[in-house]
Amino acid sequence: MLSYRHAFHAGSHADVLKHLVLMLCLQHMNSKDKPYTVVDTHAGAGLYLLDTEQARRTGESINGIGKLWQRNDWPAPLAGLMALIKQANQTGQLLRYPGSPWLIDHLARPIDRLRFCELHSTDFALLRRQYKDAGRRVAVYQDDGFEVLKASLPPPSRRALVLIDPSYEIKSDYVKVVAAIKDSLKRFATGTLLVWHPLIPQLEANQLPEKLKKAGAAHWLHATLSVNAPSTQGRGMHGSGMFVVNPPWTLAATLNDTLPYLADILALDHQAKWQVDEFEEKNK
């Protein structure tokens, strides 16, 4: 939706989960010498100032990255993410939160190809400005990320990581996400596909994980992190999830070790919880 600005939500508990999983998957991609392509279908502005009016209006970073910033007891995987976020805050103060394009750019190698998509004109301008001198390695599109994804698969290198995280402010996003996963599996069955989704009291949101599980992937992982009980008023996000098609073989164990810490530190009430489910069809 063109009115959506991620600046209002940067550094939230949902970003922490999304970017932790993204980092772990990119690190796995880097374990092989062969280059890969990354497609970020809803890239946003790339880097966010946490002292802006938008960020202060919601204050979501306070209960997300703000709770982790001053600690030093992070589990090893989370320590890796915190090190990256500290790179974006060289003064030692938490003033900036890196979005997925920044993290992808800093984790991917010179041989890898990055495609960032953003429709919102303001965020696209900010994103394009960051990568105006990036050369052929980074392509920035003011275009429908779902369409760019179709054109990107299969990649020349036969290795790809895709991040899909629309705003879900319009119900058609849920339909488009499932369609994108099904289409991507037909075009390139071995790609690693990441879908972020909100945990909210809404029918389409509740149905999405089950639809993704039935989209045809032979191997998937689903991780969720809730920081409080669902609203009795029928609105508000109490957590989020990451659905990963063709996940790294170490991802489930790593998240099982890390998510209990996040649920404890980011909890807003006693109903904070986490879960990791994994499925692999052995004979497919």
* DSSP code string of 139-160: EEE-S-HHHHHHHH-S-TTS-E
Q: Burial of 234 by CB count in 10 Å (0-12 exposed, 13-18 middle, 19+ buried)?
A: exposed
Sorted by sequence, the CB contacts under 8 Å of residue 267 that are 6+ apart come out as 227, 228
Q: Where do the domains of the chain lie?
A: 6-280
Amino acid in the structure at residue 153: L
Q: Mean pLDDT throughout 138-156?
A: 97
Active site residue 165: yes
Q: What is the pLDDT of residues 213-257, one digit of tens each?
A: 999 999 999 999 999 999 877 678 999 999 999 999 999 999 999
The Cα 243–Cα 153 span in angstroms is: 19
Q: Identify the DSSP state of 92.
A: S
> Locate tokens 């170490």: which residue?
250
Q: Is pLDDT of 53 > 70?
A: no
- Between the alpha carbon of residue 48 and those of residues 55, 79, 85, 110, the distances in Å are 8, 21, 11, 24
Measured in degrees and rounded to the nearest 5, phi and psi for residue 162 equal -125, 135
Q: Calculate Rg over the CA atoms of the chain.
A: 18
Is residue 267 within 8 Å of 227, Cβ to Cβ? yes
Is residue 212 within 8 Å of 178, Cβ to Cβ? yes
Catalytic site residue from 144, 165, 183, 257: 165
The structural architecture, per CATH, of the domain 6-280 is: 3-Layer(aba) Sandwich (3.40)
Amino acid in the structure at residue 270: H
Nearest CA to 167 out of 60, 21, 41 is that of 41
Q: Report residue 4's pLDDT band, with 50, 70 and 90 as the boundaries.
A: low
